[in-house]
């Protein structure tokens, strides 16, 4: 398609590589960027470069951060009695928005998925075990560290949870208590619209009234 300027075509093709952006969306974004003032484009370019220059990974929880340790790991007000295991950074952001969890986190870096070629070596297992060890040493009065699995209720999430659970039990046994976030019916949903699996999990995870 020679009618499209080479630079716009190149940018469009690169934008299509981003998740959730198809050819039409990529083309619209490319043309929109062309209409921006040059100083705005320069600012965007600096922002892209800053992703690699300024963003680091926390040694403790593997979160992306401006500092090492990250803001959450460096916060003395966080509780050391719970560790929430998540698949990626976006999960931490989602949980933090609820303002209902005050413990620590660890980011595995993905889920086990043979289809996508993600195996155990792609997960930060060694880092997780090290973090668990650090928090176990902080427990007092015979209390145990609670490890909360906040992984997606999919086959990949369940497979990952089982694998990580076995690694934790092999390394620490009865020094930790394991739990998972509740899975069930969303607030405001009619039961007859709920799929069978979700309804099964909701019944199994029922609580006292």
pLDDT at 150: 95
Longest dimension (CA), the chain: 73
Indicate the number of domains in the chain. 2
pLDDT at 2: 59
Q: Are residues 102 and 142 in the same domain?
A: yes
pLDDT at 115: 87
Q: Are residues 23 and 92 in the same domain?
A: no
Q: In what order do the strands lie in the sheet with 82-86?
A: 104-107, 82-86, 145-149, 176-180
pLDDT at 203: 82
pLDDT at 193: 81
35 Cβ contact list (under 8 Å, min separation 6) = none
pLDDT at 43: 94
List, for the chain, all residue ranges whose pLDDT scores fall below the cut of 50.
1
Q: Are residues 74 and 172 in the same domain?
A: yes
Q: Are residues 44 and 105 in the same domain?
A: no
pLDDT at 184: 81
What's the pTM value of the predicted model, to 2 decimals?
Answer: 0.84
Does residue 102 form part of some domain?
yes
Between vectors from CA 17 to CA 14 and to CA 19, what angle results, nearest 5°? 135
Does residue 190 form part of some domain?
no
> In which domain, by residue range, is 27 found?
6-54
- Compute, in degrees rounded to 10, the torsion defined by CA atoms 30, 33, 38, 40: -140
- CA nearest 148: which of 63, 58, 79, 52? 79
Instruction: Say how far apart CA 149 and CA 165 lie, in whole Å.
Output: 9
């Amino acid at each position: 398609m020679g009618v499209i300027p080479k630079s716009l075509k190149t940018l469009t093709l690169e934008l299509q590589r981003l998740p959730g952006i198809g050819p039409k969306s990529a083309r619209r974004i490319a043309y929109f960027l062309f209409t921006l003032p040059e100083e705005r484009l320069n600012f965007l370019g600096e922002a892209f470069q800053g992703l690699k220059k300024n963003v680091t990974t926390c040694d403790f929880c593997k979160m992306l951060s401006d500092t090492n340790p990250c803001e959450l790991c460096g916060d003395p007000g966080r509780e050391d009695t719970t560790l929430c295991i998540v698949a990626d950074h976006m999960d931490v952001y989602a949980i933090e928005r609820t303002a209902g969890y005050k413990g620590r986190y660890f980011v595995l870096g993905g889920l086990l998925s043979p289809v996508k070629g993600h195996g155990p070596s792609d997960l930060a297992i060694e880092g997780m075990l090290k973090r668990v060890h650090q928090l176990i040493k902080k427990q007092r009065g015979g209390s145990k560290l609670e490890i909360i699995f906040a992984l997606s209720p999919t086959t990949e999430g369940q497979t990952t949870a089982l694998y990580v659970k076995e690694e934790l039990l092999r390394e620490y046994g009865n020094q930790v208590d394991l739990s998972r976030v509740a899975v069930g019916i969303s607030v405001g949903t009619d039961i007859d619209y709920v799929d069978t699996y979700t309804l099964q999990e909701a019944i199994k995870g029922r609580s006292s009234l």
